[in-house]
Chains A and B, each alone.
Chain A
């Protein structure tokens, strides 16, 4: 299991379009990917677009992403970079 934390900088939070790109990207990942905002007690399967959107992650929220599965090492680095680039 791999995990990282990230504080959202985009003023719109995790809104629809980048969330969609994230979900598309994760389609190629074999591991399960969970996204949570612990402060707000919300979590979702990061491969499910509407579920991610319904978390309504805002600027300043800290998300915890947990990756678990056979390709977790490579996936984690890739996903963390994606968060830095997009959110």
Chain B
């Protein structure tokens, strides 16, 4: 039995088989001793990749359609491309190992395509990366592709948003990552999905772990690989008790969220895609306080069309059946790998060209998105909120643009419902001038993750800083109080949609500050409601 520890990000116990999610880019330049053997290995890998792609082609054609299958076919054609293959073989002949050679040549070709002045060819960069990743996976002995045939526990260095988009979420029992932080994308996803997970673990990631039994204890922050009988029995018992606690929360389902003194607060859910709707229903949320739009843009190679966006938004709005859905416009930056945005590499993506700054600069992206949201408004109750606001000027510009779009749609005869316009308060600037901003908007929603990161000057992705990170820092508490006061002075509502909203130790405090809405991971709603109903505030 191997025992280790990590930082728990969601409580619960999971028991299942390990699936190692390996990263292709950890390839290093190891010199190869036997060049002819290495060339042989490369050739074998190539043939294996070809066979895999053939299988994938058939599956895609059957299950998805001809267009997607065509993309797979192009990838297998790259395996015969002379520039690609000869480039790799030349590097191997000069003594590099095969995996590293594939990585280097693949990267060079992908960059060349990404730089082309042609949208279609630009997008082929993704195909070159994909075929290179496949070859590298075969060469480094990791599992081919990432497939989970049965439910299991994902063990990974860390997972990027585009990687998590591709996962089959029904089969994931837990995440265990070596890197990450309490606020990393994996951690956020674990909370939405309601599965016990650990980040910053001391686990030694090795393909050999695949298929072995693992226990994740999200209460204590422990994991066990190949557990002995005693441990297994103890953990099964703990899992059972956790299940009973959850069952106890069922008493709060459907109850109004009102404290003992009659203070009423709305408990909404944060979600990342229309697929998460099922968690919202399971969690008994009273609305959606944050629907992220990034999912619509990640894991693809061209901009989504207005109709695609509209369909996705409509799906959520309709499923909520008249309950409020707050849609946040695109909040993307150079830290996300979306080739077709052509974002330049930045030293400081968190302070860079991102979110509303992209939307206000590239109005065509913004226009498509807003038109889709306004069109979806006809199917329920929609509110829009804008991320990364720092000034009144931005808000004025956004509002006049929204008015213009709504006007255009009405002129086209499209049916719309009234849409509330609000802003995220997630920069210290916005918090400090929240009195001025409140005059121009219908609501505030505090994004505590970014507000904390910017106020404390602590990068939330840097695990070295976790020791300095104080989520309940007095500065944050004062800003939160100020924001709620300023909202109410101007007669608008205020909510919190960052991870802090789900912090059960702060529910009383937020009620005292007068927050009207708390939006947290769907799995948190019943626990929050229990807190509110039991609160003396």
Please judge, given known A-B contacts A12-B120, A17-B70, whether A54 and B81 are in contact too, CB under 8 Å: no
Question: Which candidate, A1-9, A43-51, A64-72, A76-84, is the interface stretch facing chain B?
Answer: A43-51
B384: min CB distance to chain A, Å = 35
B124 proximity list for chain A (CB < 8 A): 16, 53
B118 proximity list for chain A (CB < 8 A): 13, 56, 58
B74 engages A17 (CB within 8 Å): yes
Closest A residue to B70 by CB, please name it: A17
Residues of B66-115 contacting chain A, CB below 8 A:
70, 73-74, 77-78, 80-84, 109, 112-113
Residues of A1-49 contacting chain B, CB below 8 A:
12-13, 15-17, 20, 23-24, 27, 45, 47-49
A58 proximity list for chain B (CB < 8 A): 118
Closest B residue to A14 by CB, please name it: B121
Separation of A53 and B127 alpha carbons in the complex (Å):
13
Please judge, given known A-B contacts A16-B74, A17-B70, A17-B74, whether A23 and B80 are in contact too, CB under 8 Å: yes
Residues of B151-204 contacting chain A, CB below 8 A:
none
B81 engages A24 (CB within 8 Å): no
B121 proximity list for chain A (CB < 8 A): 15, 53-54, 56
Separation of A73 and B9 alpha carbons in the complex (Å):
70
Among A15, A45, A54, contact of B113 (Cβ-Cβ < 8 Å): A54
Among B73, B78, B117, B120, contact of A50 (Cβ-Cβ < 8 Å): B78
Interface size class of A (residues with CB under 8 A): 10 to 19
B83 engages A51 (CB within 8 Å): yes
Q: Is B116 an interface residue (CB 8 A)?
A: yes
B127 proximity list for chain A (CB < 8 A): 16
B81 proximity list for chain A (CB < 8 A): 23, 48-50
Among B73, B77, B113, B128, contact of A23 (Cβ-Cβ < 8 Å): B77
Interface size class of B (residues with CB under 8 A): 20 to 34
Separation of A45 and B73 alpha carbons in the complex (Å):
21
Please judge, given known A-B contacts A20-B77, A23-B77, whether A15 and B120 are in contact too, CB under 8 Å: yes
Closest A residue to B109 by CB, please name it: A50
B83 engages A50 (CB within 8 Å): yes
A25: min CB distance to chain B, Å = 12
A20 engages B84 (CB within 8 Å): no
B112 proximity list for chain A (CB < 8 A): 54
Closest A residue to B71 by CB, please name it: A16
A51 proximity list for chain B (CB < 8 A): 83
Closest A residue to B115 by CB, please name it: A54
Contact mask for chain B residues 234-257; partner A; CB cutoff 8 A; 1 contact, 0 none: 000000000000000000000000
Please judge, given known A-B contacts A20-B74, A58-B118, whether A48 and B80 are in contact too, CB under 8 Å: no
B213: min CB distance to chain A, Å = 44
Separation of A22 and B184 alpha carbons in the complex (Å):
46
A47 engages B82 (CB within 8 Å): yes
B80 engages A49 (CB within 8 Å): yes
Among A15, A17, A24, contact of B80 (Cβ-Cβ < 8 Å): A24
Closest B residue to A27 by CB, please name it: B80
Closest B residue to A52 by CB, please name it: B81
B109 engages A56 (CB within 8 Å): no
A13: min CB distance to chain B, Å = 8
Identify which of A15, A16, A23, A54 gathers the most chain B CB atoms within 10 Å of its CB: A16
Closest A residue to B79 by CB, please name it: A49
B116 engages A54 (CB within 8 Å): yes
B78: min CB distance to chain A, Å = 7
A23 proximity list for chain B (CB < 8 A): 77, 80-81
B80 proximity list for chain A (CB < 8 A): 23-24, 27, 49
Please judge, given known A-B contacts A54-B116, A54-B121, whether A17 and B73 are in contact too, CB under 8 Å: yes
Q: List 18 A-B contacts (CB under 8 A).
A: A12-B120, A13-B120, A16-B70, A16-B127, A17-B74, A20-B77, A23-B77, A23-B81, A27-B80, A45-B82, A49-B77, A49-B80, A50-B84, A50-B109, A50-B113, A53-B121, A54-B116, A58-B118
List 14 additional A-B contacts (Cβ < 8 Å) besides A16-B77, A48-B81, A50-B84: A13-B118, A15-B120, A20-B74, A23-B80, A47-B82, A49-B82, A49-B83, A50-B83, A50-B109, A53-B113, A53-B121, A54-B116, A56-B120, A58-B118
